[in-house]
Amino acid sequence: MNFETIKYGVKDKILTITLNRPDRLNAFTGQMMNDLISAFDLASNDDEVRVVIVTGEGRGFCAGADLGAGEATFNRDENPRAKKTDDEDNLEWLRDGGGRTTLAIYDCSKPIIAAINGPAVGVGVTMTLPMDIRLASEEAKFGFVFARRGLVPEAASSWFLPRIVGISKSLEWTFSGKVFDAEEALKGGLIRSVHSKDSLLDEAKKIANEIIENTSPVSVSMTRQMLWKMLGADHPMEAHKVDSRAIYELGKGEDTKEGVNSFLEKRPPEFPSKVSKDMPDFYPWWDEREFK
């Protein structure tokens, strides 16, 4: 599949998605939204992809929304591709593009590592929130700048951000709209670690290979969905319902046999099950949500 605004490459079971508008610091556009949604959908359905790494081409990760349209950038009534329709029940025109992107990332079945190589501002940082592990280079900058543009946090970040860094830090960063460095992001819990720009992707691949070489693809996919989905559960019983069923179904499967035998035989595991066809029968256990 050809993409206009990203690079998509699979090697050694790692998919690297590179935001690829370096002349605009990889600023986000409607086409980038479409490309990213398609890319994460492809990754979910490709058994050759075990881990996804997302990074940026050039000196930036993503400078936020492309403001090339000037003061009309965020005015839907002046955007011919996003105007209201005559169908009052169809609200697709109203949906925030960043949110459509982060929900596609949230739904992805594969673990995702953000390798934030440079400035990540606005949607450039909020798109990383549903990614599972975030690393940054020393040159990275972050900013939840929405209030400085007369807007509010988008991309479902009012759900994701407090769950990652807590409510107080979320409010501090979004109230001020300030741009801050990688060390502050590390201290605030937004990122896992800070690296030189030259070593950033190597560290991301090291984490990816730890997953690839030692774990069951089905186990990892189930774990990703369980941990994210349970963030919204109202009682631990909801987790107990899911993990009890998962332990039962996976416990009698081929991957568990291989996991136990490889441990006893002191050899690397070779898990046979595939995400595309071997997920437990009760998966997915949640109801799809509609935009209303």
29-55 residue pLDDT tens: 999 999 999 999 999 999 999 999 999
Q: Please check whether residue 257 lies inside any domain of the structure.
A: yes
Instruction: State yes or no: pLDDT of 82 exceeds 80.
Output: no
Please tell me the total number of residues recorded for the chain in this structure: 292
SS (H, E, C) the chain: CCCCCEEEEEECCEEEEEECCHHHCCCECHHHHHHHHHHHHHHHCCCCCCEEEEEECCCCCECCECCCCHHHCCCHHHCCCCCCCCCCCCCHHHCCHHHHHHHHHHHCCCCEEEEECCCEECHHHHCCCCCCEEEEECCCEEECCHHHHCCCCCCCHHHHHHHHHCHHHHHHHHHHCCEEEHHHHHHCCCCCEEECCCCHHHHHHHHHHHHHHHCCHHHHHHHHHHHHHHCCCCCHHHHHHHHHHHHHHHHCCHHHHHHHHHHHCCCCCCCCCCCCCCCCCCCCCCCCCCCC
Instruction: State yes or no: pLDDT of 83 exceeds 80.
Output: no
Instruction: State yes or no: pLDDT of 93 exceeds 90.
Output: no
Average of per-residue pLDDT values in the chain: 94
Q: What is the pLDDT of residue 73?
A: 65
Domain identity same for 88 and 170: yes
Q: First-to-last CA distance in the chain?
A: 31
Pairs from 74-82 (Cβ < 8 Å, separation ≥ 24):
74/149, 74/151, 81/30
The residue type found at 242 is V
Specify the CATH number for the domain of residue 281: 1.10.12.10
Domain identity same for 173 and 58: yes
Residue 265: which pLDDT band, with cuts at 50, 70 and 90? very high
Domain identity same for 244 and 264: yes
Residue 92: which pLDDT band, with cuts at 50, 70 and 90? confident
Task: Indicate if the alpha-carbon torsion angle 17, 23, 25, 27 is positive or negative.
Answer: negative
Q: Please check whether residue 281 lies inside any domain of the structure.
A: yes
Domain identity same for 115 and 161: yes
Q: Please check whether residue 292 lies inside any domain of the structure.
A: yes
pLDDT tens figures, 268-278: 999 999 999 99
Domain identity same for 203 and 273: no
Q: What is the pLDDT of residue 66?
A: 81
User: Domain ends where: 176, 211, 246?
Assistant: 211
Which comes out higher in pLDDT, residue 73 or 129? Answer: 129
- The domain in which residue 63 lies consists of 6-211
- Structure-block tokens of residue 37: 């949604």
Instruction: State yes or no: pLDDT of 12 exceeds 80.
Output: yes
Domain identity same for 115 and 236: no
Domain identity same for 198 and 174: yes
- Nearest CA to 36 out of 99, 119, 118, 111 is that of 99
Q: Please check whether residue 235 lies inside any domain of the structure.
A: yes
Specify the CATH number for the domain of residue 38: 3.90.226.10
Instruction: State yes or no: pLDDT of 14 exceeds 60.
Output: yes
Domain identity same for 269 and 185: no
pLDDT > 90: what percent of the chain? 88
- Nearest CA to 8 out of 65, 55, 59, 66 is that of 55
Residue 79: which pLDDT band, with cuts at 50, 70 and 90? low
- How far is the C-alpha of 161 from the C-alpha of 146, rounded, in Å? 14
pLDDT > 70: what percent of the chain? 93
Q: What is the pLDDT of residue 200?
A: 98
Domain identity same for 227 and 158: no
Domain identity same for 160 and 271: no
pTM of this structure: 0.94
pLDDT tens figures, 205-255: 999 999 999 999 999 999 999 999 999 999 999 999 999 999 999 999 999
Domain identity same for 66 and 176: yes
User: Domain ends where: 177, 194, 211?
Assistant: 211
User: Domain ends where: 190, 211, 232?
Assistant: 211
Domain identity same for 91 and 231: no
Residue 24: which pLDDT band, with cuts at 50, 70 and 90? very high
Domain count, the chain: 2
Q: What is the pLDDT of residue 75?
A: 66
Q: How many CB atoms lie within 10 A of CB 39?
A: 22
Q: Please check whether residue 103 lies inside any domain of the structure.
A: yes
